[in-house]
Amino acid sequence: MGIPFVSLALISVIVAIDNALLAGMLLPQASRQHKNEIMVVVGVALAFAQIGCAMGVGRLLTNEVFRALAVVVLIWMSIRTVASVSFPGRTLTRIRVIWRVFFYTVVGNIDNMIWLGTELRGHYLWLAFFSVVTIPLFIIIAVFLSGQCEKHQWILVLGAGMMAWAAASLVLQTPGWKLQFNGVSTWVIKTAMGSFIVLMGFIIRELLIHTVAAHAAWRRMSGFLLL
């Protein structure tokens, strides 16, 4: 039991850290106490979701509709993260923030949950134990990274790249796509797909900047004409 115990502990810590990296980037600007309260709820919910997903996500991903939905959500998350850099987000209620962080983190790290379920091999009690024990680690890292994202917005672009990479990984796990890229390095394909997704985010961001500038100019002109 020693090897499975150590292996599951290590994998659980890695998944918890990965979850925290994504959740931290999704947290809106708020006080540290507010962030801690949100992350406690999200951490507990993620622990239960992780147990369920690790036990059944492998079967879910054989469903083409579910796989396509996961890919679309990941691409949308990546583009939205890049496009929203330097733009103030909408003020959301605490319930909506909790749901947003929880849902995006589960979808964004679904590949890690597949890995966790693959390595699990029937040790469900240990999975439940480590999913709960790693909650404090998740909270600490998520809140810390959220503060860093407020100071260094390039971290958000890095996070968008992680989401784009996860989307590309799910696409390449589809049998039909594997045949189309036969003979090409998987790493090259993932990099190309991920780069294209992030580039789309930058293009949309530039369009938003020009749109906001145009609206501001129009409002100034309208105010001048009304004088």
117-135 in b/e form (b: 16+ CB < 10 A) is bebbeebeebbeebbbebb
d(CA 136, CA 44): 10
Q: Give the residue ranges of DSSP H helices in 121-185.
A: 124-133, 135-151, 154-172, 175-180
Q: What is the DSSP string of 47-71?
A: HHHHHHHHHHHHHHTTSHHHHHHHH
Confidence (pLDDT) at 62 = 64
Number of folded domains that form the chain: 1
> Torsion over CA of 32, 19, 69 and 149, rounded to 10 degrees?
50
Does residue 186 come out as left (phi exceeding 0), alpha (psi in the -120 to 50 range) or beta? alpha
Q: Which of 162, 177, 166, 160 is nearest to 64 (CA)?
A: 177
Q: Which regions of the chain are under pLDDT 70?
A: 1-5, 28-30, 54-63, 85-92, 111, 114-115, 117-122, 175-184, 212-213, 215-227
Q: Give the residue ranges of DSSP H helices in 31-123.
A: 32-60, 64-83, 94-108, 110-120
Confidence (pLDDT) at 196 = 93
Rg (CA), the chain: 20
Confidence (pLDDT) at 216 = 64
CA 161 to chain CA centroid, Å, is: 10
**Residue 82 · residue 202 · CB < 8 Å:** yes
d(CA 96, CA 109): 20
Phi, psi of 93 (to 5 degrees): -70, 160
pLDDT tens by residue, 25-78? 777 666 778 888 888 898 888 888 877 776 665 566 566 777 777 788 888 888
Q: Which domain holds residue 161?
A: 2-226
pTM of the model: 0.64
Confidence (pLDDT) at 1 = 47
